[in-house]
Amino acid sequence: MKYNCIRNSDSPEVMRARVKHGIAAYGIYVALMQLLEEDEDHKLSKDYSMIAYEMRVDVSVVQSVVEDFDLFEVEEEYFYSKELSDTIEQARKVSEARARAGRAGGAAKARNFVANAKESSSKCQANASESLANATNSLANATDILANASESLANAKQMPESKESSPNPSKNIYSVPTEREDNIKLSSPSSARTRKSKPKEFTICHKGRQIFEKYYQELYDSAYYWQPKDAKAMNSILKKISFARSHKTVPLPIDDESLLKALEEFLRRIDKTWIMNNFSVNKIDSQYNEIVSEMKNHRQNVTDNGNNTKTGWKAPDHKDTSAYRSGFGVAVGK
C-alpha cells in the first residue's frame, strides 16, 4: 500500500476479530484497506455480498469485520477507515507545502540564472573575438597545406607506373558467399517486416466499453469521453452481472459473449430519469443495486397489471356510445 496505516495483527481491535473469526479476519481487514485506498473517494459501499464474492469468503464474516470491532467508521450506506483518511489528508498537506517551497526556490534560481546569463554573455563576446582570430590563422594554415598537397600530387604523376602484379585468388572480390552470409541475408530486417503480426485480442472490458460508447452515441448523438476510472467501473459492472447470473435458481452462462449480451440488455433497460440525465459508466456502477431494484419493481408492476398495461394511459374521449364501441372493435348496436 502507498499509505502505511494498517494496524498490527496484535492490536486490540484486530485481536478481538481474530479471536472470533481466526487469522482470516486479519486478511479480510488488510484487503478492505487496500480497496479503500484504491477507491477515488476512499469509501466502500456496504454491499457485503459483492465484497465477499470477490474475496471468496462468507458474507457474515465480512460484515462482522467491518462493523463489530471498531476497525472502520460505518455510515448508512458506506464505510471507511479514519486512519487511512487522516493519513491521506496529511500527505496532501505535506505535498502542498513542498510545492510552495519548490515554487519559491524556483523563483530564486530564475533570478540567479538571469544574473549568470548576463555575465556569461560578456565572456562569450570576448571568447568569440578570440575564436575569430584563431579561425583566421587556421584558414591561412589550411591554404598552405592545400598548396603543398597539390605540389605533391603533381610530383607523384611524374613517377613511372609500377607493373601490375598478378591477382591474388584469396582476395577475389567475386568469391562465393558462405552459408552463414546467406542466412544473414535471409533474416534481414526487410524480410522480418514482411511477417504479418497476429491480430490483437481485446479484453472483455474493452468490448464492454465499445458496447457502452455505441449505445451512448445512439442516445445523445455524441461521443462519450472515456476516462481511466471508467475502465475500473466497467470491470465492476461486469463482475456484478456475472455474480447475479451465477446465483440465479437456474444459473445462467457467464462466458464473455453471454456477459456482453447481458450488459447491452441491461443498459437498454435503464429508464430512470436521474440516471439518463447523468449517463456515465461510473454512475451506473455506483447505483447498480438501485437500478436493478427499479427494473424488478417495473417488471412486477407489468405482471400485476397485465402485459399491455402502461402507466399514465387512459381511454380516448368519445362523443357517444356508438363511437366508443366502434373504437374497441365492437359492432354498433350490439
The predicted-structure confidence for 90-117, as pLDDT tens digits, reads as follows: 888 998 999 888 888 877 788 888 788 7
Average predicted confidence (pLDDT) for the chain? 80
140-152 tens-digit pLDDT = 777 778 877 877 7
Q: What's residue 196's pLDDT? A: 62
Q: What's residue 142's pLDDT? A: 79
Q: What's residue 280's pLDDT? A: 92
Give the confidence band of 328 by pLDDT, cuts at 50, 70, 90.
very low
Of 207 and 312, the structure prediction assigns the larger pLDDT to 207
Q: What's residue 333's pLDDT? A: 46
164-217 tens-digit pLDDT = 454 554 545 445 555 555 554 555 555 555 566 667 789 999 999 999 999 999
Of 321 and 52, the structure prediction assigns the larger pLDDT to 52
CB 29 within 8 A of CB 8: no
What amino acid occupies position 149? A
Q: What's residue 319's pLDDT? A: 53
The overall pTM is greater than 0.85: no
Is the predicted pLDDT of residue 327 greater than 70, yes or no? no
Question: Concatenated DSSP letters for 57-123?
Answer: S-HHHHHHHHHSSSSSEE-SSEEE-HHHHHHHHHHHHHHHHHHHHHHHHHHHHHHHHHHHHHHHHHH
CA 311-316-320 angle, 5° bins: 150
53-103 tens-digit pLDDT = 999 999 999 999 999 999 999 998 999 999 898 899 888 899 899 988 888
Dihedral sign for Cα 127, 132, 137, 138, please.
positive
Q: What's residue 57's pLDDT? A: 93
253-307 tens-digit pLDDT = 999 999 999 999 999 988 877 777 888 999 899 989 988 888 888 877 766 665 5
CB 303 within 8 A of CB 324: no
Q: What's residue 158's pLDDT? A: 67
